[in-house]
Amino acid sequence: MIKRTRVSQWSDGVLLMGRFEWFGTGCWLLHHNGEGAIVELPPFNPTHQESPANKAYNVCKKRKIKVKYILCTHTHIDHFNPQVAREMQNAFPDAEIHLQRGFQEIAGFLNNVYYFDHDSKLNLGGESLFLVHAPKHSWTDTHIIFKGVAITGDWELNTLRAAHDDKPKYRVPQDAKLAAIDKMSRFEHDFNYRIHKVYSVHANDRREGIDFTALMHDTKVDRSF
């Protein structure tokens, strides 16, 4: 039986539309003034799950939200699924897909893709939407910042460690990780913008009322010993 995923509002304009497959990657909708952005293109199990594209289409139709952007936090297979990306593009043919440059190899089959190298500032219904390249868990890590919320992909917080440190093919070297954390620790100051909530894209780490800059400083601490 196909189970319909429940939509839950995590913050003003930030909805979790569902968590997919056994690893539970979230597919999110950001919205403001009738414009929306889809975050994440996870694979799903069609034997018991509704597809993220179908879900997003119905959620946006019901709420009269026009999807302007399709986004993704990093290239790992539990976050970017080519079939789901294609379905999402078919569901929202006018949406622009904004991805970090490192997606180029796997996203070449999509139309309407805009690549950025470092950061990108988009506009959703008059509200700023920031995409910030910050490699720590993987080379394409992108933080998505909207309405005071940071969706931090698969970043491990409060530790310099990353899940793939022992895999030479995937790991981000320590100096690059430190540079990325430094960059994020300056974000609030550089953009004169306050981040008070942090969500992991898997929806298994939810922090509210936080001091983002302090959290970033604490994430530089190596607690792997």
Binding site for Zn ion (CB under 5 A): 78, 154
Minimum distance, C-beta of residue 151 to Zn ion, in the bound complex (Å): 12
- What distances in angstroms separate CA 135 from CA 143, 177, 204, 215, 220, one per listed residue? 9, 6, 20, 16, 13
Residue 160: how many other CB atoms lie within 10 Å: 18
Closer residue to Zn ion (CB): 35 or 78? 78
Closer residue to Zn ion (CB): 80 or 212? 80
Minimum distance, C-beta of residue 76 to Zn ion, in the bound complex (Å): 5
Closer residue to Zn ion (CB): 24 or 125? 24
Minimum distance, C-beta of residue 80 to Zn ion, in the bound complex (Å): 10
The pair phi, psi for residue 202, each rounded to 5°, is -80, -5
The pair phi, psi for residue 119, each rounded to 5°, is -140, 165
Whole-angstrom Cα distance, residue 216 to residue 187? Answer: 10
Minimum distance, C-beta of residue 40 to Zn ion, in the bound complex (Å): 9
Q: What is the dihedral of CA 129, 15, 83, 57, to 10 degrees?
A: -100
Closer residue to Zn ion (CB): 35 or 154? 154
